[in-house]
Amino acid sequence: MKTATAIATALALVSLTTVPVLAASATKYQFKGQNASASFYQSDNCSYTDVYVSAFENVTKSGPGAPTSQTGVYFYYSSYDYCTGTQVYGSGFSENVIFTSSKLNSAALNATFPVYDYSLGTTKTATVNLNWTGTGDTYRGKYSSRNQGPGYTSSYRSSGSSRDAQVSGSVTLDGTNLIANLTSYGSLSSSTSGSLEIIK
């Protein structure tokens, strides 16, 4: 009986020592981007007009392989007449754009793409030709975090900078320049971020 018990104990110890150890898995994500945005607006006793344009160029990488690049523009316009109760508004997005950015010094956007007018239920054509020139101080910020628990560790970091900019050019909708005589505000920004998750 003692011999049988000893053999059983020995087999149990062998089985424990031969259990395969699961390899840790790591998920890594990286992001780097440049952005230029512009707001145009006007208001009086009867009406309010708002036009917004945001262009970007991003590079992302997740896992093995080459990074992925993406360039695009988001466009929104709205006009409301308080006296008549009439509102016109629409928006559009396109990746078929030419966007260049020199850090926070300057940027240029050239794009023609369809937008949807929600108030009329029709599709129109927007043509955006804008130039940004950085002015004033540069503002910077950083953030990082780390979390750890049973079987996992995760970390995240990001940094970004921004600068005001003067904007010039035109934003036309079906041939009509929407930003003529409007007050403008522009900004240039850049950011990087990354995350790492390890599961054991």
pLDDT tens track for 82-134: 999 999 999 999 998 999 999 899 999 999 999 999 999 999 999 999 999 99
Asked if residue 159 is part of any domain, the answer here is: yes
Asked if residue 190 is part of any domain, the answer here is: yes
> Is residue 10's pLDDT more than 80?
no
Asked if residue 124 is part of any domain, the answer here is: yes
Asked if residue 176 is part of any domain, the answer here is: yes
Residue 42: name the closest of 50, 30, 34 by CA. Answer: 50
Q: What mean pLDDT comes out for the span 28-46?
A: 94
How many independent structural domains does the chain possess?
A: 1
Asked if residue 6 is part of any domain, the answer here is: no
Asked if residue 13 is part of any domain, the answer here is: no
Output 11 or 147, whichever has higher pLDDT. Answer: 147
> Is residue 192's pLDDT more than 80?
yes
Look up the pTM and report it.
0.82
Asked if residue 8 is part of any domain, the answer here is: no
Residue 185: name the closest of 124, 117, 136, 126 by CA. Answer: 136
Q: What mean pLDDT comes out for the span 162-180?
A: 97
Output 180 or 151, whichever has higher pLDDT. Answer: 180
> Is residue 81's pLDDT more than 80?
yes
Residue 20, pLDDT score? 52
Q: Give the mean pLDDT of the chain.
A: 89
Dihedral of the alpha carbons of 72, 163, 38, 68, in degrees to the nearest 10: 0
Q: Domain range spanning residue 102?
A: 22-199
